Structures are given as structure tokens and as C-alpha cells.
Amino acid sequence: MYNAARLGLEEAGANTLFLAMGFLQWREVSTKKSWMAPLLLLPVSLSRRSVRSGFSLRRHEDDTVLNPTLLQLLKQSFQLTFRDLDVLPKDQAGIDVARILQTIRNAVVDIAGWEVHEGVSLGIFSFAKYVMWKDLQDRTPELRENHVVAQLMEVAEEHVTPKINLNERHTLDAKHSSLDFLTPLDADSSQLHAISWASEGHDLVLEGPPGTGKSQTITNLIAHLMGTGKRVLFVSEKMAALEVVQSRLASIGLAPFCLELHSAKARKAEVIGQFRSALSASFELNGEEWQNAGHAVDRFRADLNEMVDVLHRTHENGLSIRRAFSMVVHGEPRWQPAQIRWSDFEGLGREALDHVEGVVATVKSVVQEVAPLTENRLASVRHQTWSPTWEEQLLVAAERTSRAMDALRTEFRMWAQALPTMTSEELSLTQLDFLAETARLLVGARVCSAGIRQNPTPDSLTHIQNLRSHGERRLEAWKPMASLFRPDVTEIGEALYTEWRKSSTASFFTRWRLQRAVRRQLQSYALEKPWESQLALENLLKGLEEIHREDVALSTLSDGSRRLLGPAYHDHETDWSSLAAMEAWLEGWQRTLRRWPRVFRGAEERLLLDYPEEDRPWSRYVEAWQELNTNYQDFSRLAGRDPANTSEVDEPGWLERLSQDIEQVSTAKADLRSWCRWQEVRAEAVALGLLKIVEVLESGQVAPEDLEDYWRFSYAYTWVRQQIDHEPRLRAFSRTEHMQKIVDFRRADELLQALTPADR
């Protein structure tokens, strides 16, 4: 009982130890249960000199009262009031106990089961909640005038003050100078934010577990409000909380200005003593030094806050540099950032970036269905939109391509003699196509003479070109004369033209004589009169002279022509159109030789030396290749591949790779649907600039489940580098210099804090 009374006095600041004199035995109407309640309560206190000494019971200075809770119960439940006892009667010894008990006995005498008993008992009786309730009951109109109490009493939505987010404190330094806060104790930004709002008249509740600085914040708030000329009432349910704050106020020199209204300090003498201490308190003020310290803090703080703003400012993509740094630092140590092209992401806002992240998330979920991507059986398929019809067409094209490959392998045997060390499986698509082009030429070699086939050299081509040129010019020169003269006129044409030219310089009589001889001789070869004028005759003679020149040229080419053309050569009567076909073939053959692959060197000679009697073998190879190429084009188109991709067509072993692709497509046809979906989201990702992310995923360097984190890591790495490029403070950042600024700020802040209790 001694400990309970002392704890009640220390915790609540009120005495709870009473001598109960007289008891009322009363009964509940509903349950008929009987109760005993004390009537008169005399406040007392227990004390002792030591642990081993006895207790002393003394009268407490509080007034003797009737049990207030009992009186309220009798009034509320039984309509019993004791107006005569509003002021307790007294006798010569003090309170007239007998009269009080008799008054109550008379009031309840007619109630069955109720009885007043005399007796004395020492006990703990607490009326703290009753006093609070009574105060609310008696002073409701006055209390409603306070908006805080009105909120607590009515809890109406329209009276609730908007919530204050103490985390939104980034503008605190811009809003307040360090001299605006009179906070002698350490305070972080959340505590200063609370002090700022409270000093502006806002209502707020600070919540937090033990040790989070609530008492320190209250101490700073009281000091700040006192410094701005305000009075503060600090109340607490427990005395321990009051003592913590009071001791902290005393530690900063504010004890003389604190009036303690709890515990033993609530006695009149103690209150007067506290007033005396406050009136006699004096301080030596140095306002200039305090202000200088505050300005120094503001200066250092502004410089540091500029860096904080750079690091924590939220950009249009929703990121701050600080957060991006964190994303990079927390990436897997083995990760290397993807070399994404910044131009694809520059200027992206939060919404656009969210879209990119949504695509990355889709890639992650889809790729898990088709994993692994490395060496996947359907890697050759690039088609993006699956349908049953498309799948059927792809498989049919694969089957046809497979059969066409088998046919080509069969027809490739004709190359065995020319390419004894080669197989169709070793060659690239370009080489196989080159062989098909060569086979077409070999089929066309039938138009050539044996001499040309055996010697298809550039010299042979030049000889044939010269031969055809002279022959066709002679033919063109003879065409207008063919209907005028006999063919043998060409034998005397050159001599006649010489005589005619000679006459042009002779005398009149000689010229007439020579020209008449030329006319007569030419007339002997004519089929009809071939000229009407002197000029027409002269033109005919010029034509005969040109034919003679071409005959001379043809004569010089005759030996080589007979070797190359054999029976097909008939001097100027040769079939020049067939010669043109031979020339075209030779030109094609020379073009082919210029592109002849190194691996085929030497085969060109064997091909023509061993020319078959009939060209059907070469035709079959061409047909087989055309069939394969057509089906391959269909298969590639359906698979979404580019048939002309140089990275594939020039690589050896094309037939073998194509066979493997077709076989894998056929065996993995059940996975085609999910694979097409992967190709679709892959294309979407690539279109957004995520090619390098996709390539890292496909190479197996990053697991699918880590893809989103890896994307954020790579994006943050690239974005941070761009921000550093454009931010002067980050480019000029020095860790040593920055740490020195922090040290200087702390020193200035500590000086201001030390000056604040004494100077303010």
C-alpha cells in the first residue's frame, strides 16, 4: 500500500491513499447483488525513516470528501442526492462524521437491502478518471470552444484537421533560417519540421516507439516557444515523462522558467520558491555572436543542400540521381551494364519509362516459357504471329525443302570429277548457287564450237569479238549492193575505186577516159544499172572499197577462226548470229571465272575438257537447285528469316545447317506458339531500344528472373553517366572537399547550439 500510494503520487501527481470512514451497503436492482462502498474519504500519507523502521500515518493536506463516484452513482441510478452535504458539517474536532453518516442513513432507510455501517479502513482510492469525466460534464460548452476538444468530443469529419506528412520536409531549409529555430538540443529534419508546424499554430500528434526522440523534440519545442515569448502547458499521464522533459530543460538552463505542478512541487511553498527562482534568473547575452554563428550555419547548409538537391531532385523519368546510384550499387557484382544507346531513352518521362519496364516484365514472363534461349531448337524461326494455318504452311514448306535438299545432293554427283574433294554439305549457299550458275553456262556451252569450249580464254573472246565485228561490218556494207551486183564484184572493187580516185587529179581528157573504163568494167558485174548519177557511182565504189578492207581483216583472222570455230567458219559467209551467241557465252564464262571461288580453282578446266555428250546432267542440277531455292525461300519467308542474310549465305555447311533447322522445327512444333510470342515481344523490346538487353538475355549472361533488375541497373548506370555529364557540381565533386564542408557545418552547428541556451 505504501508503494502503491507513492507510485500514484509520482506517476499521476495526486494522492490516492485515504482513510475510509463509514460504508454504504447497497444492492443492484437487476442482479440483487450486494456491494460495500466507502462514504467519507480522509486523505492521508504513509512515511517511514528507513526500510527497517515502522510506518507513520499522517493527515494529507488535501480536503476530506464524500466518495464522489458513489455520489454520482446514487444520482444517476437511484436519483439520490445529498444537498445538505454539499458542504461537509463540522464539530469541535473537525468533520462531523456521525452527522454525515446519519444523514445518509436517513436518506436510504426506505430502500430494502441498503444499510450504513460504521467503520474505518485504510486503502487506495483513485478518482482521476472521474475527475476528468466530471470536468467534461460540467464544462462542456466552454470546452467545445476549443477546436481540439471539439474534434475529440464530436469526431466529425468536417472538424478533422488535414493530416500533415512530416516526411515532406525537403523545403524546410529553404523556408527557415537556422536562427528561426531556438532548439538547444540536437534535432533532425523531422523534429524541426514538427517544431515548425507547431510554432505556426497547427495541431499534430507525434508517434514513435521508445528512443526515437519524442521527449527531445518536446524539450526543443518548449524551448523554442519560450524563446518566442509563448507560454507552454506540458501535461502527461505519467510523472516520469514530465521529469524527463523537466530534467532536459534544466540541463539547458531553462529550469528557472519551468513551474512544476505535480508531485511534492505542487505545494504552495514550492510554487512560491519556483517563482522566486524565475524572477532572480539572469543571463549574460551575446546576440551578435549567436547571429554570426547562425549565418555561418546557413551558409554551410545552403552549400551542402545544393548537392543534396542535385542528388535527390526527381527528374522527369521519376528517378533521382541518388536513387539511380543505389540501383547501380545494388546490382549483382558480376553484371556488366548493357551498352544501351542513350538516344533511344533520352527525354523519356515516367509514363514512357513505365511502358518500357512493362515490356521488360513481359519479356521476362514470356522468355521463361521458352527458356533456354541459348541453342534453342527454334532459334531459326523469327516469325512473330502464330496461327494454325501458318504453322501448317511452315511444316509443309519444311518438308518440301527437305525433299529438295535430298534431290540436290543426288544431282551433286556430276561435280564429283571436277570437285573430287568437295561434298555438297561443305559448301555455302553462295557456292551452291554459283555452281548452279556455272551449270547454266555449261548447258549453254552447247552453242559453242569444240575449239571454243577447249580454249575459252580472254584471247579467244577477243578474237571472236574482232571476227564478228569485221564480219558484221562487211555484211552491212554488202547489203545495199547485193541486189545490184554479182558477188564476185568485190574482187575488183578496190582496184576500180583506186582508178576512180586517180582520175580525179588527171586532165579532162584523161579523167574522162579513166572513168569511162571504170563504168564499163563495173557495168559488166551489174545485175541492172546500179547508179543514176556521178555521186551514186562514187558511193558504190566507196562501199566496194570498204568491203575489200573488211575482207583483208577477215583474211588475217582466218587461221585462228578456223581453229576456234572449225566447220562453223565460212569466211565472210559465216553465221554471225551464232557467233554472237558464242561471244555472249564466252563473256559469261569469263565473268564466272573472275568470281570463281578459290576452293574451286582448277575445276573450270576439267569441266570443259570432260564436257558430256548431252547437257541433261547439268540441267538436272539446275532444276534441283531451282526447286531447293524456291522451297528455301518459302520456308525462310514463313519462318520470318531473311534468305539473303550474308552472315548465313556465305558460311560453309549451309545444307547441313538448313537440315538441322528443318529437323528441329519439325520436332519442336509443339513449342512454335510460345516461341512466336517470344519473337513478338522480342521485336517490341528491340524497337524500344532494348536490343543489348535482349542480347545479354539470349547469351545467358543474365537469368530471366533477374531481367527487370538488370534493366534498371543498366538504365540507371547509363542515365547517371548522362546526368554527370550535364551537372557541373557532380563533375567537380571531390570527396575530401565535401567531407570538409560537412565537418565545417557540424562545427558551426555545434557552436550555434551551444550559444542558443545562454543567448536566447
For residue 265, what pLDDT band results from cuts at 50, 70 and 90? Answer: low
Which 3 state secondary structure label does DSSP give 726? helix
Residue 275: the pLDDT is 80
Average pLDDT of the segment spanning 552-562: 90
Residue 294 pLDDT? 80
Nearest-angstrom CA–CA distance, 353 and 664: 38
Highest mean pLDDT among 63-67, 254-258, 704-708: 704-708
Query: pLDDT grade, residue 760 (50/70/90)?
Result: very low
Q: Which residue from 248, 273, 251, 252 is spatially nearest to 260, judged by alpha carbons? A: 273
For the cut 60, the answer to whether the pLDDT of residue 611 exceeds it is: no
| Among the listed residues 164, 173, 165, the one whose alpha carbon sits nearest the alpha carbon of residue 309 | 173
In one-letter notation, the amino acid at residue 694 is: V
- What integer is the mean pLDDT of 751-756? 77
pLDDT at 467 over 50: yes
Most confident of 251-255, 273-277, 357-361: 357-361
User: Which three three-digit cell numbers place residue 644?
Assistant: 539473303
pLDDT confidence bin for 504, thresholds 50/70/90: confident
Residues 270, 272, 277: CA angle, nearest 5 degrees: 95
What share of the chain has pLDDT > 70, as a percent?
90
Q: Of the ranges 21-25, 485-489, 697-701, which one carries the lowest mean pLDDT score?
A: 485-489
Residue of 242 and 281 predicted with greater confidence: 242
Question: How far apart are the C-alpha atoms of 25 and 5, rounded to whole Å?
Answer: 26
pLDDT of residue 344: 75
DSSP string, 639-690: HT--TT-HHHHTSS-HHHHHHHHHHHHHHTGGGHHHHHHHHHHHHHHHHTT-
Sign of CA dihedral 253, 259, 262, 267: positive
Mean pLDDT (the chain) is 82
pLDDT value at 394 more than 60: yes
Q: What is the pLDDT of residues 336-370, one digit of tens each?
A: 998 888 787 777 788 888 999 999 999 999 988 88
Distance CA 483, CA 486 (A): 8
For 57, phi then psi, to 5°, come to -105, 125
More confident residue, 113 or 588: 588
Chain CA centroid to CA 96, Å = 87
Please spell the DSSP secondary structure of 115-130, one letter per residue: EEEEEEEEEE---HHH
**Among residues 646, 650, 648, which one has the least CA distance to residue 660?**
648
- pLDDT value for 51: 75
Lowest mean pLDDT among 289-293, 543-547, 723-727: 289-293
**So what's the pLDDT on residue 759?**
45
| CA angle at 40 for the pair 38 and 42, rounded to the nearest 5° | 115
Q: 696 or 644: which carries more pLDDT confidence?
A: 696
- β-pairing, 94-95 vs 56-59, is unpaired
pLDDT tens string 291-331: 888 888 888 888 888 888 888 888 888 889 899 889 998 88
> By mean pLDDT, which of 208-222, 382-396, 508-522, 603-617 is the weakest?
603-617
Question: What is the structure's pLDDT at 399?
Answer: 95
Cell numbers given for 476? 552491212
Predicted confidence band at 165 (pLDDT cuts at 50, 70, 90)?
low
